[in-house]
Amino acid sequence: MSIFSKPIKRVRVCAEFGVNHLGSLDVAKEAIVKAAQAGADCIKFQTYKAEKLVTRTAPKFWDWAGDSDKKTQFEAYDALDDFPLENYPELIKTCEENHIEFLSTPFDFESADYLNSLGMKAIKVSSSDLTYLPYLKHIAKYHKPILLSTGAATIGEIDEAVNTIRSVNNNKIVLLHCTLKYPTQNRDANLNLIKTLKRMYPEFEVGLSDHTLGTFTAGIAVALGARVIEKHYTLDKTWEKSADHWLSVNPEELKQLVDNVRLTETLMGSSRKRVFKCEKETYLYDKRSIVAAVDIESGTQITKDMLICKRPGTGFPPKFMDMIIGRTAKRKIRADKIITWRLI
């Protein structure tokens, strides 16, 4: 399953560049290089044609002053859907040269088939297409991992999507919790849904498609069990034309996000309680042992008031106090001496 192996050994950070290239191949290639330098595992674009995506009168569901002149979804999407398909092999080559995975979200059958023909190793499904069941069945037949965003959906709709994908014997699904609001306010992030999805679909990995502002949310998501983090990304948040720029992270923030994710992974560590390797020496020397509180002469029967418990923990632990009381000293035991078998 390529980078999205199951179980995913390391959290994957996907920089969602979408159409923030603004139609420029050079900008797209620069974004790839800088995403790789920031430590992202993959960079994701979007492949669509406005005429196949929305009606000409579909109202926008976002509020961004920069495209206030565009009254409909069609006008907004139509302004950014002319990136030539002939550029994609060059994008893939640039990704390979920079050791970062290439992904693009297709929004129609033809785009999906084209991306699949290029050897793309996973298919991302946007939240908007979660209920597009004929499309899900079509892409599931590629038998590649599917990253399924779940924004603005019910559990019933998620079930239908999952069952549709499984109906063609594809069980390679990563469920991405998502709040489909740009940007998502902190109060609406609902990160506990990561745990809900993990509980309801234990056979799948779960991740987060993050639309909150900043870089803080990703680390919390990882702590809750997210194994994939998708974050909107741009080279310059002041650019216009696309509604994504201002709410995305720039290359410096992307690096900070990746660093937060890696630190969180390290901090989470193991869930199995034991004496860890780093504690081995501590385990010996910070615990208490049974120690002579006074000089105990040879042949003396040991009583409770002759004993005390002190560090280090290299002798009998305190729980064996009753086993020591009543025994006889084989030789003189000086005060502050750790009690051992050879002494009693």
State the fold for domain 277-343.
Answer: Type Iii Antifreeze Protein Isoform Hplc 12 (3.90.1210)
- For 58-62, 85-89, 253-257, 328-332, which range has the lowest pLDDT when averaged over its residues? 58-62
**Mean pLDDT confidence for 54-65:** 85
Question: Phi-psi region for residue 69, left (φ > 0), alpha (ψ -120 to 50) or beta?
Answer: alpha
Given the structure tokens 């002494």, which residue do they identify?
Answer: 343
Kindly indicate the confidence band of residue 3, based on its pLDDT and cuts at 50, 70 and 90: low
List pLDDT tens digits, range 171-202. Answer: 999 999 999 999 999 999 999 999 999 999 99
In sequence order, the β-bridge partners of residue 147 are 124, 174
Kindly indicate the confidence band of residue 70, based on its pLDDT and cuts at 50, 70 and 90: confident
**Mean pLDDT confidence for 303-330:** 97
Compute the mean pLDDT over every residue in the chain, rounded to the nearest whole number: 94
Q: What is the pLDDT at residue 60?
A: 86
Architecture of the domain spanning 2-268? Alpha-Beta Barrel (3.20)
Q: What is the pLDDT at residue 1?
A: 38
Could you please report the per-residue DSSP string of 26-77?
HHHHHHHHHHHHTT-SEEEEEE--HHHH--TTPBPS---GGGTT--BHHHHH
- For 234-243, 266-275, 308-317, which range has the lowest pLDDT when averaged over its residues? 234-243
List pLDDT tens digits, range 217-257. Answer: 999 999 999 999 999 999 999 998 888 899 999 999 999 99
Domain ranges of the chain: 2-268, 277-343
